[in-house]
Amino acid sequence: MEGRPLARGVEARQRFSRIFSLGDRNNPLSWSPSLVLSDLDPQLPISIAPFASKRNSASIPGTVSVTTRGNFCFPFDSIDTWVSSEGLILPPSLAESDSGITSSGSEVILVSWQSLHHDAQLNDEDLEPSIIVLVDAPQLVKSQGMLVDALDIIRVKFPSSLIWTPGIGGPDNCALLSWLGVDLFDLSRSRSAAALGVILTIMGPREVDHSIEEKSDINAQCSEWISAIAATRSAIREGSLRELAERQSTSSPKSVEHLRFHDTKMAKLEGGRAGLARILGHNAVLRCNSFTSRSDALIQDWRKRVSKFHTPPKHQTDVLLLLPCSATKPYRLSQSHQRFARSINTRGVHEVMVTAPLGLVPRELEDIWPASNYDIPVTGDWDNDELEIINDMINKLVKRVQYSRVINHSGMKVDVDGIEVIDTRNGSSAGSSDSLATLNLEINRAIEDFKIPKIKESIHRLGKLEALSRFQHQSDKWLEGTKIEGRPPIFTIKKDGLQLAQWNPRSGRFAFSKSCLTILDEHNTLSKIHLNKTHVWKGDLFSTNVDYIEGEIRRGDEVLVFQNDKLIGSARAEAPGWEWPDGPGRLGRAQHRL
């Protein structure tokens, strides 16, 4: 049955979770994550429960209707009801079978594991439902990895749709399911908990505390839901949903399992496809307060790029110097690293910090996300997992760059096949006078052994920015023939007197000038956005004016904008690659127009 589409924008994003604003964008009535009510549920405020649903089993197949509880569809003059036929739903174990009877609907579509594999109408490029209901979620949640795979398929195939997984959501996994991409929940589990005299809280089910006359009725259950949804929305806005999802996952073994499967799946994908951000600025914080944080795809992506792809400045390829990290970020501002600097009387060695959970942070990358923004408990001890990861990264980096010597001032035991590793600590603290004297001695010996020349500050600055560009943009060719001006830590990059870009560590990015765009295009440095051929570009980038993209896009990336194969400007991506070009809300903010 046809219906008017849901009006929705995006207020905030983090990975696969989003806060959708529902209704008139100038005056939204509700937001997601949110609830879908049934006839059995209390009439919660529209701001927390924007939809109501009914199932009619009088006919075969049955139908499901979803009704808006506010005026959410343009021109915002009435309530809307969408009806979808269930079709014949086979259990996930029969995924190879085709029932032949699929769900039908326009704005609400019912999908299952089986229909995701056989329903040809789901491949229709014009299909943009308002809500997708994963009807067999209670069965998928019991099978390893199947819920994660189903949500990934749906979210990427239908980036503008709200996803509802009936029967599996609760205050105890609201944040975790939002992290996986779910937008809508219901009170099914809370009603069951109320019937059992158990209260379903944000941290899991528990018995009521009679000493304070606590209740487990549906009103008490709804109070827990309101707190959970508020916490989830707040975490998405603040960029801290991962930490909340990790805490919630400990409430059940299945939740831990889902998070681990999701992390494993995302770590195998390209950064933009996995929803990763490349540039989040100075105020973002990556909190790594649990062992689970190590599995985050963002951290695994950093480790892979540093150990397998990153190359140091060209004048720093003979000697690798391993240093301990510090609580202060960037490290160079800490007292300990300022003491190290006084013992390192050359710019010709490659300084790399040893740290958990990122593993290694080269000096030239210490100002960028997430190296400049992570926070982790410090105990001074390394566990076996951390030792293995860091040693593996060091060995890969040494083998690829082909350093001739490793000077180890990190305090961690390091072994590298076929390369001399010199320990300058010998059990002492990194800042002791003996350790610093030994460090200085070994630096001087390396300068003599490898004939390391004195490097001018101008060459050193350019080399560091080239290495940064290679790490962020996979190319440094746009920097050829440039000169670096300015006082640290902010640098201006010029060529033939023309400013091409500025480097500011507070933003952790190159701010490219309009004059630089043609050079970036010439060297294929940035990903490209192609606008619809007839669109008159006046504002930001939305799905209505974007035709297709070229390259991998991460949130925060600078992208070049083309129309009819002609470069016409640049924009800054606000959405990760999996949302382009059909995602909801603003995908990119305009920067320059040529």
Q: What are the pLDDT digits (tens) for 88-143?
A: 666 666 666 665 556 667 899 999 888 888 777 877 778 889 999 999 999 999 98
- Answer yes or no: is 164 within a domain: yes
Q: Looking at the structure, do residues 129 and 260 belong to the same domain, yes or no?
A: yes
- pLDDT > 70? residue 561: yes
Mean pLDDT of the chain: 91
Best CA proximity match to 153, nearest among 269, 47, 234, 276 = 269
Residue 492 inside a domain? The answer is: no
Does the pLDDT value for residue 281 go beyond 90?
no
More confident residue, 97 or 414: 414
pLDDT at 1: 46
What average pLDDT score do residues 562-571 get?
A: 95
Cis amide linkage into residue 171, ω under 30° from 0? no
Residue 1 lies in a domain: no
Do residues 232 and 348 both lie within one domain? no
Q: Is the pLDDT of residue 496 over 50?
A: yes
Same domain for 259 and 292, yes or no, is no
**Domain total in the chain:** 3
Would residue 194 count as lying in a domain? yes
Q: Is residue 172 part of a domain?
A: yes
For residue 313, pLDDT beyond 70: yes
Per-residue pLDDT reduced to its tens digit, 433-463: 999 999 999 999 999 999 999 999 999 999 9
158 and 28 in a common domain = yes
Give residue-wise pLDDT tens across range 402-411: 999 999 999 8
Q: Where are the beta strands (DSSP E) in 290-398?
A: 319-324, 350-355, 359-362, 374-375
State yes or no: pLDDT of 581 exceeds 70.
yes
pLDDT digits (tens, 9 = 90+) for 198-221: 999 998 899 998 899 889 999 999
Same structural domain for residues 424 and 369? yes
Q: What is the CATH number of the domain that holds 557?
A: 2.30.130.10
Domain boundary pick from 267, 301, 333:
267
pLDDT of residue 99: 56
DSSP 443-492: HHHHHHHTTPPPPPHHHHHHHHHHHHHHHHHS--GGGTT-EEESSTT-EE
Q: Which of 267, 296, 327 is the last residue of a domain?
A: 267
Q: Does residue 315 lie in a domain region? A: yes
What pLDDT shows up at residue 251?
A: 85
- Rounded Cα gap, residues 163 and 183, in angstroms: 5
For residue 511, being part of any structural domain is answered with: no
Q: Do 442 and 534 lie in a common domain? A: no
Q: Do residues 263 and 290 share a domain?
A: no
Q: Which amino acid is at 155?
A: R
What's the whole-number mean pLDDT along residues 31-42?
95
- Indicate whether 127 and 257 sit together in one domain: yes
Q: Verify that 215 and 333 share a domain, yes or no.
A: no
Looking at 237, 267, 297, the residue that finishes a domain is 267
N residues, the chain: 594
| HSE-up of residue 589 (Cα within 13 Å, Cβ side) | 5
Listed range (275-284, 518-527, 545-554) with the worst mean pLDDT: 275-284
Find all residues with CB under 8 Å of 160, minimum gap 6, and list them. 8, 128, 543, 582, 583, 584
Q: Which of 526, 111, 65 minimizes the C-alpha distance to 279? A: 526
- Does the pLDDT of residue 423 top 80, yes or no? yes
Q: Are 218 and 319 within one domain?
A: no
pLDDT of residue 93: 64
- Is the per-residue pLDDT at 2 higher than 70? no
pLDDT at position 90 is: 67
Distances (CA, A) of 475 to 372, 460, 479: 22, 18, 9
Nearest to 150 by CA among 100, 95, 194, 73: 95
Amino acid at 405: R
Least confident of 56-65, 135-144, 494-503: 56-65
In angstroms, the CA 168 to CA 427 distance is 53
CA 469 from chain centre, in angstroms, equals 21
CATH code assigned at 441: 3.40.50.10630
Residue 125 domain flag: yes
Number of alpha carbons in the 13 Å side-chain half-sphere of residue 524: 4
Same domain (yes/no): 109, 231:
yes
Q: Which domain holds residue 553?
A: 526-594
pLDDT digits (tens, 9 = 90+) for 352-390: 999 988 999 999 999 999 999 888 776 667 788 888 999
Task: Give percent above pLDDT 90 in the chain.
Answer: 76
Mean pLDDT over residues 289-309, rounded? Answer: 91
What is the pLDDT confidence band of residue 29, given thresholds at 50, 70 and 90? very high
312 and 242 in a common domain? no
pLDDT at residue number 384: 84
